[in-house]
Amino acid sequence: MKIIIASTEEQERYIEELVNTMYNKVFPMYFSEELIAKLEELSVLRPSGSDSYLNSTLDQAFKIMSSLQTLICVLEHSNSIEENEYKKMFEKNKQTLEEFGYSFPLKMEHFLEEAVSEEELHHYGKPANKWLI
């Protein structure tokens, strides 16, 4: 007999925060607003039906969190990482997410160049300040 400990609500919320970071901070660096909306519509980085909220073990939750954290770090700092090392980390963490039911159909090539300029306004991006002009 094996005892399995379920993931906590805090872990599930943290996973959701990491997914939101991908959509609001990382994806706007590389993709247009329309493409990000399409990714959201396709449920990219959202668990499939059977793997939804509070349905994973403690071990799975930690693996999902560490994979999301690694992808965020690699994609935010991709200029300073050697391409082969970047590709290995990207593929390993992408595979881990997909093993646990998180759809991530993007390839490393999608993130090799920043396609969106810093000045472009973005619905998904983080605002520069809280003032409405």
Using one digit for the tens of pLDDT, what is the confidence trace for 67-76?
Answer: 999 999 999 8
In DSSP terms, which residues pair with 57 in a beta bridge? Answer: 6
- What is the distance, to the nearest Å, from the Cα of residue 99 to the centroid of all Cα atoms in its chain? 15
Distance CA 71, CA 3 (A): 30
1 has pLDDT over 80? no
Q: pLDDT grade, residue 79 (50/70/90)? A: low
φ, ψ for residue 43 (rounded to 5)?
60, 40
Encoded amino acid at 42, one letter: L
Q: Do the domain assignments include residue 125?
A: no
> Is 107:30 a contact under the CB 8 Å cutoff?
no
Q: Do the domain assignments include residue 28?
A: yes
Q: pLDDT grade, residue 131 (50/70/90)? A: low
Q: Do the domain assignments include residue 61?
A: yes
Domain that holds residue 96: 9-44+56-111
34 has pLDDT over 80? yes
Q: Do the domain assignments include residue 17?
A: yes
pLDDT score of 51 = 52
- For the chain, the domain total comes to 1
CA torsion, points 116, 104, 37, 21, in degrees to nearest 10?
A: -70
Q: Which residues have C-beta within 8 Å of that of residue 115, sequence separation ≥ 6?
A: 30, 31, 32
Q: Do the domain assignments include residue 3?
A: no
Q: Do the domain assignments include residue 133?
A: no
Q: Do the domain assignments include residue 106?
A: yes
Q: pLDDT grade, residue 105 (50/70/90)? A: very high
Distance CA 101, CA 105 (A): 12
Q: Do the domain assignments include residue 14?
A: yes
